[in-house]
């Protein structure tokens, strides 16, 4: 498996020189400065690619080539947006970059309620708290009908939190919910968020699935033509949020997506953390069943709680049986190699590392620390080495 590392470009506080010292060889990045729906020019791609190459690394995966919000809503001049997306795929292929991650989460990307949840070790982790989510949805956003979508016990605890919360507490919760990366550039206040949510009125899960299927029909043939593998990222967390449907959350969802437009170019980013946050998801079984469609892997772990809350655990110490997942991906690599596939390796990256040691005080993106992810990468590297070991005869 190819070891890769998420890098947010020249503005990232973690340098390419530091990344090279982690042992990772591939970079996962994007042209974040280009607005959603616009073409990624070949010149800009090559310029970023050259910057990465000068550090002795390779741009292995695009994460993400974003899907414009109008595609998810099924509104506006979609022919232009689809055409631009196809052009960007062709430009990436001309530069030799052929793995492209994207997501189809409406409005928000990954969502948490705490960015520095304290752990017993003194490190901190990202956390999603069902109580705080309910407090935000029902009492701050005041979304009509929201009460019926939350467990009564969770809602009662949310009311108690809200009664004692200061304005600073509420402002911090809004800022945290808006902090998901690589989400949209927009950061909303409460009125702004209400307005954008209203733009999804009448869009249920079935409608959103139809919009995704249309997107796939429009872009997968172009990706297949130039040898690009598109790979959809699961919902994070895998549940409806703020009245917005989520359609990439379960085994059935992923099977429907790859079946909607059958093609090697229509694949999956297998994220063990996103899928692992779903109480009904058997992540190792999903890895085994969906392995032929996996083009990229995010390997991280979560620890779930009965009320739907979860936090980011150590990479090998959460609810997901990580060695079982890695074994499934290694078996798929072996199958591809035996079949003579040239690009048989599956790139993976450690994800959402804890903040620890010298990470404190650095201005890194939430979850994208240096030492925390380095620890995760080292642990995953050990799992891969152990499972791949063949004793000397």
Binned at pLDDT 50, 70 and 90, residue 213 comes out as: very high
DSSP 122-142: S-EEEEE-HHHHHIIIIIIS-
- On the CB side of 282, CA atoms within 13 Å amount to 5
Our answer to whether residue 315 is catalytic in this structure is no
- Selected catalytic residue, list 85, 271, 293, 321: 271
Measured CA distances, 139 to 14, 158, 217 (Å): 38, 8, 40
Question: What's residue 16's pLDDT?
Answer: 98
Residue 184 pLDDT greater than 50, yes or no: no
- Selected catalytic residue, list 150, 298, 315, 354: 298
Q: Are 353 and 375 in contact (CB under 8 A)?
A: yes
Our answer to whether residue 365 is catalytic in this structure is no
Considering only CA atoms, which of 91, 154, 201, 116 is closest in space to residue 309? 154
Residue 168 pLDDT greater than 60, yes or no: yes
Q: Are 62 and 97 in contact (CB under 8 A)?
A: yes
Both tokens of residue 193? Answer: 């968020």
- Selected catalytic residue, list 68, 117, 211, 233: 233
Q: Are 371 and 358 in contact (CB under 8 A)?
A: yes
- Please state which CATH number belongs to domain 2-111+199-388: 3.20.20.150
Binned at pLDDT 50, 70 and 90, residue 183 comes out as: very low
User: Can you tell me whether residue 332 is helix, strand or coil?
Assistant: helix
Both tokens of residue 350? Answer: 């450690």
Question: Of 79-83, 183-187, 201-205, 289-293, where does mean pLDDT reach its minimum?
Answer: 183-187
Both tokens of residue 5? Answer: 């590392």
Residue 181 pLDDT greater than 60, yes or no: no
- Dihedral sign of CA atoms 276, 278, 281, 282 in order: positive
Residue 98 pLDDT greater than 70, yes or no: yes
Among residues of the chain, what percentage have pLDDT more than 70?
98
Our answer to whether residue 211 is catalytic in this structure is no
Q: Are 275 and 236 in contact (CB under 8 A)?
A: no
Please provide the average confidence, as pLDDT, over all residues in the chain: 96
pTM, entire model = 0.97
Residue 203 pLDDT greater than 90, yes or no: yes
Buried b (16+ CB within 10 A) or exposed e, 143-161: beebeebbeeebbebbeeb
- Selected catalytic residue, list 68, 117, 133, 352: 352
Our answer to whether residue 298 is catalytic in this structure is yes
Q: Are 267 and 230 in contact (CB under 8 A)?
A: yes
Q: Are 132 and 161 in contact (CB under 8 A)?
A: yes
Residue 101 pLDDT greater than 80, yes or no: yes
Considering only CA atoms, which of 175, 205, 201, 37 is closest in space to residue 105? 205
pLDDT mean over 210-220: 98
The CA distance from 130 to 153, in Å, is 11
CA-CA-CA-CA torsion for 242, 28, 320, 278, nearest 10 degrees? 20
pLDDT mean over 119-132: 98
- Selected catalytic residue, list 85, 102, 311, 368: 368
Both tokens of residue 8? Answer: 């947010």
The CA distance from 5 to 27, in Å, is 5
- pLDDT tens column, 241-289: 999 999 999 999 999 999 999 999 999 999 999 999 999 999 999 999 9
Considering only CA atoms, which of 298, 307, 314, 301 is closest in space to residue 371? 314
Q: Look-up: residue for tokens 């607005």? A: 35
Our answer to whether residue 271 is catalytic in this structure is yes
- Selected catalytic residue, list 109, 235, 351, 359: 351
Q: What is the largest CA-CA distance in the chain?
A: 68
Residue 180 pLDDT greater than 90, yes or no: no
Our answer to whether residue 36 is catalytic in this structure is no
User: Can you tell me whether residue 79 is helix, strand or coil?
Assistant: helix
């Amino acid at each position: 498996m190819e070891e890769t590392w998420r890098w947010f470009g020249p503005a990232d506080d973690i340098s390419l020189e530091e990344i090279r010292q982690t042992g990772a060889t591939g970079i996962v990045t994007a042209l974040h400065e280009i607005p959603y729906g616009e073409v990624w020019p070949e010149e800009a791609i090559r310029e970023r690619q050259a910057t990465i190459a000068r550090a002795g690394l390779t741009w292995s995966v695009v994460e993400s080539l974003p899907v414009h919000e109008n595609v998810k809503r099924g509104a506006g001049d979609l022919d232009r947006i689809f055409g631009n997306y196809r052009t960007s795929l062709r430009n990436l292929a001309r530069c030799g970059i052929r793995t492209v991650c994207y997501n189809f989460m409406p409005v928000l990307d990954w969502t948490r309620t705490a960015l520095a949840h304290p752990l017993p070790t003194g490190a901190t982790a990202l956390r999603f708290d069902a109580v705080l989510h309910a407090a935000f949805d029902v009492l701050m956003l005041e979304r009509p009908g929201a009460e019926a979508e939350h467990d009564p016990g969770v809602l009662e605890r949310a009311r108690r939190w809200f009664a004692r919360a200061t304005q600073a507490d509420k402002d911090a919760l809004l800022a945290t919910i808006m902090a998901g990366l690589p989400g949209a550039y927009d950061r909303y206040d409460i009125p702004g968020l209400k307005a954008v949510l209203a733009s999804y009125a009448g869009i249920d899960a079935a409608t959103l699935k139809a919009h995704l299927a249309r997107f796939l029909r429009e872009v997968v043939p172009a990706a297949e033509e130039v040898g690009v593998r598109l790979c959809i990222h699961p919902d994070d967390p895998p549940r409806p949020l703020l009245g917005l449907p989520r359609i990439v959350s379960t085994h059935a969802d992923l099977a429907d997506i790859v079946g909607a437009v059958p093609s090697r170019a229509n694949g999956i980013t297998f994220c063990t953390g996103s899928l692992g946050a779903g109480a009904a998801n058997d992540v190792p079984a999903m890895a085994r069943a969906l392995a032929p469609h996996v083009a990229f892997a995010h390997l991280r772990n979560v620890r779930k709680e009965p009320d739907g809350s979860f936090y980011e655990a150590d990479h090998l110490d959460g609810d997901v049986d990580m060695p079982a997942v890695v074994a499934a991906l290694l078996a798929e690599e072996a199958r591809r190699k035996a079949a003579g596939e040239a690009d048989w390796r599956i790139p993976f990256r450690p994800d959402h590392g804890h903040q620890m040691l010298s990470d404190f005080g650095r201005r890194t993106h939430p979850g994208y620390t240096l030492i925390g992810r380095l620890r995760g990468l080292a642990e995953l590297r050990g799992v891969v080495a152990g499972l791949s070991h063949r004793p000397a005869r």
